[in-house]
Structure 1
Amino acid sequence: MSEELNNKVQLKVRDNGSILVTGDVELVDAEGNPFETKPKFSLCRCGASKNKPFCDGSHKEIGFQDQIRAK
């Protein structure tokens, strides 16, 4: 497999949870300042994380529900 395919960015919307981000991606704030990330990280969708924009598992505590399916 080529290096380009190995570094392909994937965003996986998890049922009732976070967005899992994998691949070679840079996450920046509104001013262009980069966040420190790992090769795989999760972004908050529920709005309750105390570590935004990252997921801290708060969706489980608040009972977040939002199953999305691609069409």
Structure 2
Amino acid sequence: MTHAEKTVSHRKASVEISKNGPYIVKNMDNFINSQGVSLATQPVMALCRCGGSNNKPFCDGTHNSINFEDDKN
């Protein structure tokens, strides 16, 4: 494990909601999908919130082309 990987793995995970866009997830060590399959993680990931991504659970930018809007955020 590299020094950068060790540093990232000790940081607290966080989730931010981007306006009319994806969830921005940072520092998540373990990620398991709805079928119980473990997915590779990155220090920063964008997760689909609009439901239209062809790469679920990850965001592929579809929210822009479908004009996804969330009035609450």
TM-score surpassing 0.5?
yes
State the percentage of identical aligned residues: 37
Find out whether 1:15 has 2:51 as its counterpart: no
Matched with 1:29 is: 33
In structure 2, how many angstroms separate the alpha carbons of the residues matched to 1:28 and 1:17? 22
Q: Which runs of 5+ in 2 are unaligned?
A: 1-6
- CA distances 1:20-58 after superposition (whole Å, capped 9, x unpaired): 000133110234321112111010000000000000000
Matched with 2:57 is: 53
In structure 2, how many angstroms separate the alpha carbons of the residues matched to 1:26 and 1:68? 28
Q: Which runs of 5+ in 1 are unaligned?
A: none
Aligned residue-pair number: 65
In structure 2, how many angstroms separate the alpha carbons of the residues matched to 1:62 and 1:31? 27
Q: TM-score, normalised by structure 2?
A: 0.78
1:20–1:42 Cα contact (<8 Å) kept: yes
**Structure 1 stretches of 4+ moved >6 Å:** none
